[in-house]
Structure 1
Amino acid sequence: MELREKERLKEEIIREIENNREELIKTTKYIWNNPEIGYQEHKAKEILVNVLEKAGFQIQREVGNVATAFVAVKNGKGKGPRVAIMSEYDALPGIGHACGHNLFSVSAIGAALGISKVIEELDGSVVVIGTPAEEGTVPNAGGKAVLIEEGVFDNIDAAMICHAEGRTIVERLLVAAASIEVVFTGRAAHAGGSPHEGINALTAGLLTINNINAIRQHFLPRVIVNPIISEGGITANTIPDKCLLKLSIRADKRNVLSAVMDKVENCIKAAALVTDCKYEIIMDKKIYEDLIPNHELSLSFREALENLGVDYIEREEANYAWDAGNVSYVCPTIAPYIKIGNENLVGHTEEFKEASNSETGFEGMIIGAKAMALTAFDYLTSPDLRERAQEEFQKKIAGE
Structure 2
Amino acid sequence: MLPYSAWFRPILHISGGISMTDRQQLIVNNVDTVKQLILDAERWIWAHPQTGYTEWQAHDYLAEKYEALGYTLVKAGNIPGFYTDVETGKPGPKVAIFGELDALDIANHPESVNGMTHCCGHNAQSAALLGIAAALKQPHALDGLCGSIRLVVVPAEEMIQLAFREELRQKGIIKYNGGKTEFMYRGLLDGVDMAMMVHGMTKGSSVNEDGDTDLDFQALLGMNGCIAKNIRYKGKSAHAGGAPHMGVNAEYAAMLGLQACNDLRETFQEKDTIRFHPILMGANCAVNIIPDEMKIESYVRGKSLEAIKRENIKVNRALTGAALSMGAGVELSDRPGYAPEYHDPTFMKLAEDCCVALCGRKKVVFDYNGWSTGSSDFGDVTCVMPGVQINAGGAVGTLHGIDFQITDPNRMCVNAAKVQLFLVDALLSNNAVTAKEIIANYKPQYPSIKAYLDAIDVLTLDKDAVRYDEKGNAIVDFQN
Question: Please, what TM-score do these two structures have when normalized by structure 2?
Answer: 0.72
C-alpha deviation, 1:110, in angstroms? 2.2
State the percentage of identical aligned residues: 22
Q: Is 1:293 aligned to residue 343 of structure 2?
A: yes
| Deviation readout 1:193-248 (Å, 9 max, x if unpaired) | 76665444344323322432343222122212223444468578765432333333
Q: Is 1:18 aligned to residue 32 of structure 2?
A: yes
Select the residue among 113, 122, 142 that pairs with 2:145.
122
C-alpha spacing 1:9/1:230, structure 2 compared with 1 (3 Å): closer
C-alpha contact 1:296 1:385 (8 A) present in aligned 2: no
- 1:32 equivalent in structure 2: 46
Select the residue among 326, 340, 355 that pairs with 2:380.
326
Q: Is 1:77 aligned to residue 89 of structure 2?
A: yes
Select the residue among 360, 366, 372 that pairs with 2:414.
366
Aligned mates of 2:133, 2:33 — CA distance in 1 = 13
Select the residue among 251, 256, 263 that pairs with 2:307.
256
**Amino acid in the other structure paired with 1:241:** D
C-alpha spacing 1:268/1:23, structure 2 compared with 1 (3 Å): same
C-alpha spacing 1:35/1:234, structure 2 compared with 1 (3 Å): closer
Aligned mates of 2:263, 2:400 — CA distance in 1 = 32
C-alpha contact 2:95 2:194 (8 A) present in aligned 1: yes
Aligned mates of 1:241, 1:232 — CA distance in 2 = 8
After TM superposition, list the pairs within 5 Å mapping 1:235-246 onto structure 2: 239-246=290-297
Aligned mates of 2:378, 2:198 — CA distance in 1 = 10
Select the residue among 57, 62, 67 that pairs with 2:79.
67
Select the residue among 104, 115, 120 that pairs with 1:92.
104
Select the residue among 149, 162, 176 that pairs with 2:225.
176
- 1:352 equivalent in structure 2: 404
Secondary structure of residue in 2 paired with 1:154: coil
**Amino acid in the other structure paired with 1:333:** G
Q: Higher strand fraction: Structure 1 or Structure 2?
A: 2
C-alpha contact 1:180 1:246 (8 A) present in aligned 2: yes
**Amino acid in the other structure paired with 2:356:** E
Aligned mates of 1:331, 1:395 — CA distance in 2 = 6
Aligned mates of 2:346, 2:119 — CA distance in 1 = 31
Aligned mates of 2:7, 2:237 — CA distance in 1 = 77
C-alpha contact 1:77 1:120 (8 A) present in aligned 2: no
Q: Is 1:208 aligned to residue 257 of structure 2?
A: yes
Aligned length: 390
C-alpha spacing 1:115/1:251, structure 2 compared with 1 (3 Å): same
Q: Is 1:158 aligned to residue 194 of structure 2?
A: yes
C-alpha contact 1:295 1:389 (8 A) present in aligned 2: no
- Pick which of 67-76 and 7-16 moved more: 7-16
Q: Is 1:379 aligned to residue 383 of structure 2?
A: no
Could you tell me which runs of 5 or more consecutive residues in structure 1 were left unpaired when the two chains were aligned. none
C-alpha contact 2:248 2:327 (8 A) present in aligned 1: yes
C-alpha contact 1:169 1:338 (8 A) present in aligned 2: yes
- 1:133 equivalent in structure 2: 156
| Deviation readout 1:59-80 (Å, 9 max, x if unpaired) | 12x21x4431101111111221
C-alpha contact 1:181 1:247 (8 A) present in aligned 2: yes
- 2:391 equivalent in structure 1: 337
Backbone CA RMSD of aligned residues = 3.0
- Pick which of 51-60 and 370-379 moved more: 51-60
C-alpha contact 1:297 1:375 (8 A) present in aligned 2: no
Select the residue among 4, 13, 16 that pairs with 2:8.
4
C-alpha deviation, 1:29, in angstroms? 2.1
C-alpha spacing 1:351/1:241, structure 2 compared with 1 (3 Å): closer
**Amino acid in the other structure paired with 2:380:** N
After TM superposition, list the pairs within 5 Å mapping 1:40-51 onto structure 2: 40-51=54-65
Aligned mates of 2:321, 2:401 — CA distance in 1 = 39
**Amino acid in the other structure paired with 1:206:** M
Select the residue among 171, 188, 191 that pairs with 2:237.
188
C-alpha spacing 1:211/1:367, structure 2 compared with 1 (3 Å): same
C-alpha deviation, 1:175, in angstroms? 1.5
Aligned mates of 1:34, 1:191 — CA distance in 2 = 43
C-alpha spacing 1:227/1:297, structure 2 compared with 1 (3 Å): same
Select the residue among 262, 269, 280 that pairs with 1:220.
269
C-alpha spacing 1:270/1:351, structure 2 compared with 1 (3 Å): closer
Aligned mates of 1:40, 1:162 — CA distance in 2 = 22
C-alpha deviation, 1:180, in angstroms? 1.9
- 1:308 equivalent in structure 2: 358
Could you tell me which runs of 5 or more consecutive residues in structure 2 were left unpaired when the two chains were aligned. 11-20, 166-176, 203-214, 448-480
Q: Is 1:109 aligned to residue 130 of structure 2?
A: yes
C-alpha spacing 1:362/1:286, structure 2 compared with 1 (3 Å): farther
C-alpha spacing 1:114/1:271, structure 2 compared with 1 (3 Å): same
- Pick which of 308-317 and 152-161 moved more: 308-317
Aligned mates of 1:304, 1:89 — CA distance in 2 = 25
C-alpha spacing 1:308/1:270, structure 2 compared with 1 (3 Å): same
